[in-house]
A and B are shown apart, each in its own frame.
Chain A
Amino acid sequence: MEPTLHHGDFVVVHTFFKTLKKRDIVLCKHPITGVQVIKRIVQVKNSVYELAGDNLQQSTNFRGIARQAILAKHAFSIKAPHMHP
């Protein structure tokens, strides 16, 4: 998610959102491994989401993500000072 988020950043998320739109940063459950992953919504089609990291050269897109797999929405971050000089 660089340059938006770096390793060590604290991210505050909330679960009381009603809508999700393109460009939102969300916490989702990885469709295969079940690991919690932070990604950005890059496309929404019929309530199915495509997610990608901001570091496009390193990131693999997650396609076909259902609404239920999105656990929370990014509220704000507390950035690790040594990673954001």
Chain B
Amino acid sequence: MLYTLVRVLDRFVRFPSAHAHCDIPCGIYDPHQAQVDAHTVIRMIDLIKEAKSSNVHSLARYTSVKEQHAESCKHQIRILWGDYFKDEHVKQFPNLPELVWRALKQASKTRQGTDRKDGEALLATVQEISEIFWKTKGKNPKRVKAPYPSGGELVLHD
């Protein structure tokens, strides 16, 4: 009853709102998706190289997925940078801003071309960021062989 009354009043008065999180859902961050995106970019580059030039349909699909995952990788890195990493992390890992900047640039580069080395460079940078991320969480990062056709590694933690 009281709640209903206040709610009706709120429609006219518009009470200020307060959040219980800074950016819902706060506290759930993981660099895994950025790594999966970078692996997908490498895989798509491989498939583009293997595809016959006459197979326009497949080439279009591979290129489209490469674009999507490169952009997704940038999005994931931006979330970590904007919402998770704090001043204290940058003090602890002074190369972090440069790594983030490099990952964003490198992801754009993989969209522009089909050089596998660009994809590998993106993955390497994302993995360095991942290792820093897990260290800031007090976890011990470790590299394992990625179970993907793109090869390379994945950064996980103990």
Within B9-67, the residues touching A (CB, 8 Å) are 10, 15-23, 25-28
Contact B3 A1 (CB under 8 A): no
Chain B interface secondary structure, helix, strand, loop or mixed? loop
Contact B27 A37 (CB under 8 A): no
CB distance from A50 to the nearest CB of B (A): 14
Known: A57-B27, A58-B25, A59-B26. A1 touches B15 (CB 8 A): no
Residue on A nearest B25 in the bound complex, by CB: A58
Q: How far is the CA of A48 from the CA of B18 in the complex (A)?
A: 22
Number of interface residues of A (CB under 8 A): 25
Residue on A nearest B27 in the bound complex, by CB: A60
Known: A58-B25, A58-B26, A58-B28. A27 touches B18 (CB 8 A): yes
**Chain B interface residues (CB < 8 Å from chain A):** 2-3, 6-7, 10, 15-23, 25-28
